[in-house]
Amino acid sequence: MHYTTLLSLLAVPAMSIYSGLQPRECIFPANFTITNFEAVTDHLDSTRNYTQFSYYDVSTGLNTTCDHNANSKPSTVNPGAWPCKNESVVFRFDINEPNPELVLTEMLCPESNAKIEATGSVKPDLNCKNQTFETYCVSMTSMTGDFVSLEPAPPGRR
């Protein structure tokens, strides 16, 4: 009996942290979908490298395109990440990694003072074609990734 009471008391603060931050209109999504993923690596001029794809979160209804190319500016609030057209989503991807992973972070509850970030990743199943001056990679299928982290945004973000 004492163990049950103690466990119940320990669970309440963790639940209250998120329920206290979650306004009625805030949705905490479970997953996201990536489509039309492609990446190019230029073997002579890395400024010509690019990555592009479409992002969709059915839970929040957020639908945006994402790209990183020579004209892209890195995220000012999430160092090392690139903003999508809808800046509520940022991503990281390096095709030169041995097993490249696309990491996405979506800012939730934009109308609230309690900024929450959901982060997840997918490993694209890439079909690559090596050419003399570049490598062109595309994912022939859509990818669904799970959000594995849901936590308050660090101070200074958004």
Check residue 82 and give its pLDDT.
Answer: 93
**117: in domain:** yes
**109: in domain:** yes
Q: At 63, which helix (H) or strand (E)?
A: strand 62-68
Average pLDDT over residues 121-147: 93
**9: in domain:** no
pTM of the predicted model, to two decimals?
Answer: 0.79
Among 144, 122, 133, 139, residue whose Cα is nearest residue 39: 139
pLDDT digit string (tens) for 63-84?
Answer: 999 999 988 998 887 888 999 9
Check residue 45 and give its pLDDT.
Answer: 87
**158: in domain:** no
Check residue 7 and give its pLDDT.
Answer: 29
Q: Range of 77's domain?
A: 23-152
Average pLDDT over residues 106-121: 86
Is residue 157 scored above 90 in pLDDT?
Answer: no
**4: in domain:** no
**17: in domain:** no
Q: How far apart are CA 96 and CA 24, in angstroms?
A: 42
Average pLDDT over residues 6-35: 56
Q: Tell me the sheet residues that pair with 115.
A: none
Torsion of CA 88, 62, 39, 154, to 10 degrees: 30
Among 152, 74, 79, residue whose Cα is nearest residue 118: 152
How many domains, the chain?
Answer: 1
- Say which CATH number the domain at 142 has: 2.40.350.20
Q: Determine the 3-state secondary structure of 104 from DSSP.
A: strand
**51: in domain:** yes
What letter does residue 58 receive in the DSSP assignment?
Answer: T
Higher pLDDT, 27 or 141: 141
**46: in domain:** yes
Is residue 6 scored above 50 in pLDDT?
Answer: no
